[in-house]
Structure 1
Amino acid sequence: MYPLLFRTVLTRFDPEFAHHLGAFVIRVAGVEPVASVVRRFTAPAPGLGVEALGLRFDSPFGVAAGFDKNVTMGRGLGALGFGHVEVGTVTALPQPGNPKPRLFRLVADRAVINRMGFNNEGAAVAAARLRRLRRARRRPVIGVNIGKSRVVAVEDATTDYVRSARLLAPLADYLVVNVSSPNTPGLRGLQAVETLRPLLTAVREAAGRTPLLVKIAPDLADDEVGDIARLAVDAGLAGIIATNSTIDRAGLSTPAAQVEGMGAGGLSGAPLKARAIEVLRLVRAAVPAEFVVISAGGVETADDVRERLAAGATLVQGYTGFLYRGPLWARQINRGLARG
């Protein structure tokens, strides 16, 4: 049913508008008594639970950052069967993001290009919503992904991240430093070890007892991935998220002229799968067994999740697959995992 709806109706809408329509449906799914009814059909099997970061995840599969930027869909996504929701990316200062259009479908590739630019309502608004969400009777594990405010100079990035961390870490189940989005000028340069070390050290101190992770790009060289993984361990972080979207456009089925017309941005979805698995294996080889590694990028089916877990992932995240699979996506994956 959903694939037909997607092909015949949803593709006629601007992708960002379609996302807002979907967000409304998800919010409704999180309101009682609707949520209780939805959970009867979507709740993960008890055997799928994962213990990580000192937390209990009902399923190893969760929603990556970027889907719920403003902390408005947590209860609904939990009701739909996701084991965790990573909200954000949140910046210390509210910002509108890049000019529209900034989100594009590559249907032939089951992919998306976005240059949203961390559009969000800012850390103070996110904090107020997180307080309400934490009071909910039923909710998934909530991670908070933080990034650099666009108006803040790169040399002042640490102060900006620390400001967000102090406000949001006490309200998060875990916190993520995002230095890997391709859509904020200068951000990926923060992945250089000599720059990243003092940033992570400062944010870890500001985060207190909240587990801290760092999210890295798939476009790093293999030796850079290993260097950052070892740095994360040395800096006392709890884990790494691998990976963010890519700037690579190689091997796409969508015509090159059409892709070029979409412009700059991060590519996510099926084309990212192979590199995401490579980076996962590189990270896992460089960190202790107990170190948490969350794999993201190109995940769409239960087999994809199973493959990531077998390759060493502690947890797995998806985003773009929601567009192509619809609101029962987590249910499909959880049932596939339960079947073994």
Structure 2
Amino acid sequence: MNLYSLAKPLLFRLPAETAHHAIHTLLDGFQRTPLHSPVAKQLTVTDERLEVSAFGQTFTNPVGLAAGFDKNAELPRAITALGFGFVEVGGVTAEPQAGNPRPRLFRLRKDNGLINRMGLNNHGASAIGHRLAETTVDVPLGVNIAKSEHVDPEDAPADYCQTYEAVDSADFFVVNISCPNSQGFEALQNRSAMAEIIGALRDRGASPLLVKLSPDLPEPAVDDVLAIVEEFDLEGIVATNTTTERPASLKSSNRSEKGGLSGEPIKHDATEIVRYIAARTDVPIVGVGGVSTAEDAYQKIRAGASVVQLYTGLVYQGPTIARDINRGLLELLERDGFDSIEAAVGVDSE
């Protein structure tokens, strides 16, 4: 696995999306070989202290891969072999979408961040649903469902339901109302629009159902989301998506590109949103944003996240990241006298 440190300079000479496709091809080939099992044995940390129960699922460890990396549910076996405790695929829309024109993915190397304006490119719910139905992995497998770009906001509930019904073999479902890179999502982030979408999905039987928040929502808007979570008895909250904000601290030349910013630059704000939510609800939280190390994950867990997700960290740290974080979490639990991850959840919330 130290090969990544050798390959990374070469990969980083390629355009970011080209490098992503190269890694995707390698992982797809890998999961079809006999190497899958020995690699999984090396990278999977098995320890009951890491086990978490949340939104009706049991996680052998709290480190998951976020939506966006495996948009089309082609790599769950490879991802689980890298030691992740769960996988979220997508975002998925009802019909196939090409996404925005290239270039649309940019590294911020000096900041350990990414900016993407991919635009929900995916194969469509029918193709991805068939793939999910034929996929068997030993960890929870979720799907991120989003609004089709051509659909008007008033038709969004039916559009989300069409997508859900095509991918309903997943273990959990994340309602994405916060994508900053596709048209029409701003109109979905008011209370009435969210209630219509989530109510329609509940009527179709969607469960466990989680909602993914934008980090750019003001506190009153977050409170509106929490009221909807309570009203519809949702099983979880994902906090947070990428941000359109640009911190003044950014150093990389790509910092002015349009799109959603992820990685190290949003770590603190994402953790504070987790803390804000945890102080106001007992619903399990998936903490996302700037997770690259065990300490990053632990901060979000102590702030109130039951489990965490990453994507940008994988780009910068490589395929051992889940193993490294889980090993580090065990050391941090021991240091602080906790006998499990679950015992540490929310100890630093307000």
Written as runs of structure 1 = structure 2, the 5 A alignment for 1:230-249 is 230-249=227-246
User: Could you report, residue by residue, the CA deviation over 1:7-39 in whole angstroms, capped at 9, with x for unpaired residues?
Assistant: 531111010111111112222343352111112
Shift of 1:3: 6.8
- Deviation at 1:273? 0.7
Cα distance change of structure 1 residues 29 and 200 upon mapping to structure 2, 3 Å threshold: same
**Corresponding residue for 1:77?**
79
Q: Distance in 1 between matches of 2:165 and 2:176?
A: 16
- The amino acid across from 1:40 in the alignment is K
Residue of structure 2 equivalent to 1:299: 291
Q: Counterpart amino acid of 1:249?
A: R
**1:270-285 correspondence to structure 2 within 5 Å:** 270-285=264-279
Asked if 2 retains the 8 angstrom alpha-carbon contact of 1:60 and 1:83, the reply is: yes
Q: Deviations over 1:27-80 (max 9, x none)?
A: 234335211111221112222111112221111010011110000110110011
Relative to the length of structure 1, the TM-score reads 0.93
Contact 1:71 1:87 in 2 (8 A): yes
Percent of pairs with identical residues: 42
Q: Give the aligned CA root-mean-square deviation in angstroms.
A: 1.5
Letter in 1 for 2:227: R
Aligned to 1:97: 99
- The range that moved more, 264-273 or 279-288, is 279-288
Q: Deviations for 1:206-241, whole angstroms, at most 9, x for unmatched residues?
A: 234x20000010000012112211211211211110
Task: Report 1:33-48 matches (<5 A).
Answer: 33-47=34-48, 48=50
Structure 2 equivalent of residue 196 of structure 1: 194
| Partner SS for 1:67 | coil
Q: Corresponding residue for 1:286?
A: 280
> Structure 2 CA distance, aligned partners of 1:3 and 1:31?
20
Q: What is the number of equivalent residue pairs in this alignment?
A: 330
Distance in 2 separating the partners of 1:205 and 1:110: 41
Would the aligned equivalents of 2:113 and 2:265 in 1 still touch at CA under 8 Å?
A: yes
CA distance in structure 2 between the partners assigned to 1:92 and 1:212 by the alignment: 18
1:126-182 deviation line (CA, Å, top 9, x unaligned) = 01100110xx3x43210000001111112211110011112212x110001100010
- How far apart are the structure 2 equivalents of 1:151 and 1:58? 39
Distance 1:184 1:129, change over 3 A: same
In the TM superposition, residue 2 of structure 1 has moved relative to its aligned partner by 5.7
- Deviation, structure 1 residue 4: 4.2
1:148 corresponding residue in structure 2: 147
1:18 matched to which residue of 2?
19
Letter in 2 for 1:212: L
* TM-score normalised over the length of structure 2: 0.90
Asked whether the 8 Å contact 1:2–1:325 carries over to 2, the reply is no
Asked whether the 8 Å contact 1:230–1:286 carries over to 2, the reply is: no
Determine if the alignment matches structure 1 residue 223 to structure 2 residue 220. yes
The whole-number CA distance in structure 2 between the counterparts of 1:212 and 1:300 is 26
**Separation in structure 1 between the aligned mates of residue 108 and residue 4 of structure 2, nearest angstrom:** 15
Contiguous gaps of at least 5 residues in structure 2: 333-350
Of 310, 315, 319, the match for 1:327: 319
Cα distance change, pair 25–84 in 1 and its aligned pair in 2 (3 A): same
C-alpha distance in 2 between matches for 1:98 and 1:164: 20
CA contact (8 A) 2:108 2:254 kept: no
- Is contact 2:210-2:235 (8 Å) kept? yes
Match of 1:157 in 2: 156
Write the letter of the residue equivalent to 1:110. Answer: N
**C-alpha distance in structure 2 between counterparts of 1:43 and 1:184, whole Å:** 35
1:259 paired residue number: 255
Uncovered stretches (5+) of structure 1, i.e. residues with no partner: none
2-structure distance, mates of 1:150, 1:128: 22
1:29 and 1:38 in contact (8 A); partners too: no
Match in the other structure for 1:179: 177
Question: 2:117: which partner in 1?
Answer: 115
Asked whether the 8 Å contact 1:222–1:279 carries over to 2, the reply is no
Give the letter for the 1:319 counterpart: Y
Alignment-mate amino acid for residue 293 of structure 1: I
